[in-house]
Amino acid sequence: MKQTLFFENIRISLNSIRTHLLRTILTILIIAFGIMALVGILTATDSIKYYLTKNFSMMGSNTFTVRNRTMQVHIGDQSNKQRLYEPIRIKQALQFKESFSFPGYTSIFVYATGTATLKFGSNKTNPNIRVLGADENYLYTSGDEIEKGRSFTPEEVNYGSSVCIIGAELVDDLFKNKEDPVGQIISIGPGKYRIIGVLKSKGSSAGFSGDRSCYTTLNNVRVNFARPKMSFNLNVMVKNQELMDAAVGEATGLFRTIRQDPAGSDNTFEITKSDNIAKMLIENIKYVTFAATIIGLITLAGAAIGLMNIMLVSVTERTREIGIRKAIGATKRVIRNQFLIESIVIGQLGGLIGIVLGILIGNVISLLIGSAFIVPWLWIVTGVVLCFGVALISGIIPAQKAANLDPIESLRYE
């Protein structure tokens, strides 16, 4: 009986919606825009979080870097102050690599230049190629993969051989006639280098494309790109991710000894986990999430007022109908439930439209930045609950007013 009455109330609600279609559509759209703002922006921020985590953690969550400077990240007008320490000398880097016995891989690398021009015959790149000197373990620790050819051998690194590994995008710039790049001789600045490998494409990571990088041997950079106070960096990839903190602790103690940092003093180097930048940026996205939530809630408050207004008008317009229903036996509870269900149906229709639009808009942003398709289940459930709450709050006063109408007065209402 109760189930039949429930569905009857839904049928009456849908009939009332059809009778006042334009007014109902406008109310539904107000609710939809509130939910769309909430779900859309939060879907977009989830996409951005996924993108940052994926791209800044390419090396893997079990990798950390030792360098002589802290990270400097600019977000809007805010910027953390970068600290510089004494350069890490090659002797210190080699001593760390030989002494660090934690299970995993340790590599040494150094930046040669970020403004190199690569040439092959008459073809050349723009003067913005990043050249990096690395040892035989660097590709293990950097997250790069060889698509064609091979990596450096320890002998090539030791003798400073003029060999190089180039990014996938550079192949298109240099070998326009589709030549096999492996084995070809190219110019990097004034020097000649033989290509021994091509990196697998990884795309652009937050504006920086590893596909436009060129790696050569560590000792070759020391000779051909030497500069005062050149600082060497260390990458460490731990085999067991659960031992990451232990590895960082052991590395810190070992490198403090190598750098001869006095007991009780600060480190004269920085250890950065591969996903630290992503975490810093994601931390700042919470302000966007907060703003989106406020905007959505303000819009929903407006929708609640609009829905309450339409329900009050509906009660007034249907006063005679209410009188007839009471005259044939409808109780206060039945009348109240009828109007509450009507309010909830309108709220849920608005919520459904808003959720669909929000997911679509959020994933347009995801598509533009190259992130994955996101279905924000948490925000979908939140949207449904919010719409139910808005409908319940907006409908309770009109429903109570309808339930308390005097049947005799209602029948006489014109």
Q: CA 343, CA 340: separation in Å to the nearest integer?
A: 5
The DSSP-derived string for 361-392 is HHHHHHHHHT------HHHHHHHHHHHHHHHH
Structure tokens that stand for 74 in this block: 């600019």
Secondary structure letter of residue 182 according to DSSP: T
pLDDT for position 106: 94
**Domain residue ranges of the chain, discontinuous segments joined by +:** 2-54+280-412, 63-273
Q: Measure Cα distances from 387 to 198, 290, 301, 314, 346 in Å.
A: 54, 19, 11, 20, 9
pLDDT for position 337: 78
Q: CA 361, CA 357: separation in Å to the nearest integer?
A: 6
Q: CA 25, CA 85: separation in Å to the nearest integer?
A: 64
**Nearest alpha carbon to residue 7 among 308, 310, 345, 349:** 345
pLDDT for position 175: 93
Q: Measure Cα distances from 109 to 168, 234, 252, 315, 318 in Å.
A: 20, 6, 18, 76, 79
pLDDT for position 279: 66
Backbone dihedral angles phi then psi of residue 213, each to the nearest 5 degrees: -105, 160
- Angle, CA 119 vertex, CA 118 and CA 124 arms, to 5°: 85
- Determine contact, residues 391/343, Cβ cutoff 8 Å: yes
The DSSP-derived string for 248-265 is HHHHHHHHHHHHTPPTTS
Q: From first to last of its 414 residues, what are the pLDDT tens digits of the chain?
A: 555 666 776 777 677 777 777 777 887 888 888 788 778 877 887 787 777 666 655 555 678 899 998 765 544 555 556 688 899 999 999 999 999 989 889 999 999 999 999 999 899 999 989 999 999 999 988 888 899 999 999 999 999 999 999 999 999 899 988 899 999 999 998 899 999 999 998 765 444 456 889 999 999 999 999 888 899 999 998 888 788 889 999 999 999 999 999 988 889 999 888 666 666 666 667 777 777 778 777 877 777 787 787 777 777 777 777 777 777 777 788 778 777 888 888 888 888 898 888 888 888 877 877 677 777 788 788 878 888 887 888 788 888 888 777 776 666 655
Q: Measure Cα distances from 331 to 252, 282, 405 in Å.
A: 76, 55, 11
